[in-house]
Amino acid sequence: MAPTTRKIVCFSDFDGTIFMQDTGHILFDNIGCGEKRRQELDQQLKSGERSFREVSEEMWGSLHVPFEDGFKIMEKELEMDEGFREFYQFCVANGIEFNVISAGLKPILRRVLAGFLGKEEASRIGIVANDAEIEPDGSEWKPVWRDNTELGHDKALSVKEGRANAAAEDENGEIPLIIFIGDGVSDLPAAREADVLFARKGLRLEQYCIENKIPFTGFDSFSEIKKEVEAIMQEDQDKTGGVGTPARFNPRANMWRRVSSRQAVPKFVAATPSKEEKMFLWPEFSEYRPRNQENPSS
């Protein structure tokens, strides 16, 4: 595979995307407030009775165990996508910048990745997420929000920043190709800033894209994404764009195929979630699925 002439930056959601289960749900249900209370909080959020931050802080605040004890539970319950390691190694070999982008807590995501991939390999993965203050004895788990937005993390802004940084670093002044991989409607603001969108099959993001005719490529495994990205890299050797541009490209963001200078990048419209999208921001951005259980088809 000849390397692409344009820098590629990949952003991937974590819960329900790289891992089949939700890290937060595993912790809350097993050693925190419990599944029943979590579901009650979910309903309070959906009804508008309480805000995302209030609900989230209560869930995380229900944990009173040392961090490593929490990881031992996640290690038993979590299942990593069978093709992720291969895809990540492919990204490293081909100079593709890979980042995790999540509304979760960075220390948890970093520890889970290190546990499943090894510390050295995991340390090279960029993580764009909320932070956390966790007491050594586990007596307090407190989210540290990345920004002042409703979810504590504006994923769309993070993707825009990633694009701008990659463009600024490019010696030829070319804008990068942005790939986004996700599973839920809360991923939509960030996905709208991407040039290519991958949505896990059978979950809410795919359904939303189909209903609203948003260009995307469905996947069951990161192995399928690897093949698609290989094809994209080959297509990048011919930057004709315009007529014949593959359907997988987002027409709102795929200006990368028609311009060569970062000065020519249009100002994208801010991807603020609509009222409908907000209905699915939590907890349906990922679905808790016990290990070895088949993916739901709807």
**Structural domain total, the chain:** 1
Supply the pLDDT for residue 283: 32
> Is 48 among the domain residues?
no
Contact 59, 11 (CB under 8 A): no
- Per-residue pLDDT tens over the stretch 224-258: 999 999 988 887 666 544 434 444 454 444 444 44
Supply the pLDDT for residue 266: 32
Supply the pLDDT for residue 238: 60
> Is 74 among the domain residues?
no
**pTM attached to this predicted model:** 0.80
> Is 62 among the domain residues?
no
Write out the catalytic residue numbers.
13, 15
Q: Range of 122's domain?
A: 8-20+80-252
Q: Which two tokens stand for residue 73?
A: 């539970």
Q: Is 18 exposed, middle or buried (0-12, 13-18, 19+ CB in 10 A)?
A: buried
> Is 173 among the domain residues?
yes
Supply the pLDDT for residue 77: 96
Q: CATH number of the domain that 106 lies in?
A: 3.40.50.1000
- Per-residue pLDDT tens over the stretch 168-201: 887 776 778 999 999 987 788 888 888 999 999 9
